[in-house]
Amino acid sequence: MMTYEQAKVRWQASHPPRHYLSISDLNRETAQIVLSLAHAMKRATQQGRELFRFERPTAVALIFEKPSLRTRVTLEVGLYQMGAHGVYLTQSDIQMGTREAVMDIARNLGRWVQGIVARVFLHTALEELAQFAPVPVVNALSDREHPCQALADLMTIQERFGTAPCTLAWVGDGNNVCHSFTLLAAMLGHQVRIATPEGYEPNAAVLQQARAFAAESGGSVTLLRDPHEAVADADVVYTDVWVSMGFETEREARMRKFLPYQVNESLLRLAKPDAIVLHCLPARRGEEITDAVLDGAQSAAWDQAENRLHTQKALLALMLG
């Protein structure tokens, strides 16, 4: 089992990022180090011990413009388990960008805490925090990416299938979660098939970057319209809500267009018999996914949610330790 000390030596030799705003801030080696350490941390936690604890007093600012269950709990619990303290700050607390400029908040926090984790509406806010903060900044979700979620996704896939290349089907909206999942999966050599309605594809620049990663790793990224074609013989079937926060006014139009993309028992039968189903949660049961699938034997959504804890612990230990 990898030790933290072994991971840290490899991390420092592998051009680690100063900030983690995008999957693109990682390279194949640093991504593999985070995942390997996360697996080791999970095994240690299950045995009632911790693989890493901060040696000095450590505090991390947790900025949340959006509400959260998994992100907040896993960050606060993970920091506590490693002997650090999370300072939870909502938009009503700091009014970032209105009561006080983002750059001034970044400069202030950098005098008090050892890291900043931010869940924001606009990715540009993260970029400004990173520009002016003298401490590492981590993206806990933005309109462009959800890179902490992608680490948990790939950890879950590795738990079921190891590190060998797999066929991964994304079905539904080409959103921020899709962006990070596709980038990391392509970086690690997987074959990614993305099925979306016309007009809801992933960002063109993200697709270009993912295909560049795939060209280096031996993977592939394919954009499709037909969800049946995407899921056929897939190892993993992944979906997310059709109406994310901020898109509520589009609900009626989105429901019509996405209905053929529901992950149900009929669609899942096209995948491999041992395929797993992922969902980053929260789920709109009966919309993008049925109860029978989400609660079924092939669902790995609960392991995936747990793995947010372990991957974020590994990432923060490496970036702040």
Pairing verdict, β 115-119 and 137-141: parallel
146 is an active site residue: yes
Q: Which candidate in 144, 166, 240, 310 is catalytic? A: 240
Which among 199, 203, 155, 198 is positioned nearest to 176, based on CA atoms? Answer: 203
148 is an active site residue: no
Q: Which candidate in 235, 280, 310, 312 is catalytic? A: 280
Q: Which candidate in 70, 146, 190, 254 is catalytic? A: 146
Tell the burial category of 66 from Cβ atoms under 10 Å away from its Cβ (0-12, 13-18, 19+). Answer: middle
Q: Which candidate in 114, 308, 310, 312 is catalytic? A: 308
Q: Which candidate in 10, 39, 70, 119 is catalytic? A: 119
93 is an active site residue: no
280 is an active site residue: yes
Helix or strand holding residue 45 (H, E): helix 28-46
240 is an active site residue: yes
303 is an active site residue: no
Q: Nearest 5°: phi and psi at 124?
A: -60, -30
Nearest-Å Rg of the Cα atoms of the chain is 19
DSSP letter for 108, please.
H
DSSP letters for 50-106: -S---SS--EEEEEESS--SHHHHHHHHHHHHTT-EEEEEEHHHH-BTTTB-HHHHH
Tell the burial category of 222 from Cβ atoms under 10 Å away from its Cβ (0-12, 13-18, 19+). Answer: middle
Distance of alpha carbon 306 from alpha carbon 313, whole angstroms:
12
Centre a 10 Å sphere on the Cβ of residue 295 and count the other Cβ atoms it contains: 12
Which among 222, 216, 208 is positioned nearest to 170, based on CA atoms? Answer: 222
| Residues with Cβ within 8 Å of residue 133, at least 6 apart in sequence | 106, 107, 109, 110, 116
Q: Which candidate in 32, 114, 149, 312 is catalytic? A: 149
Distance of alpha carbon 147 from alpha carbon 183, whole angstroms:
9
Residues labelled as active-site residues: 119, 146, 149, 240, 280, 308
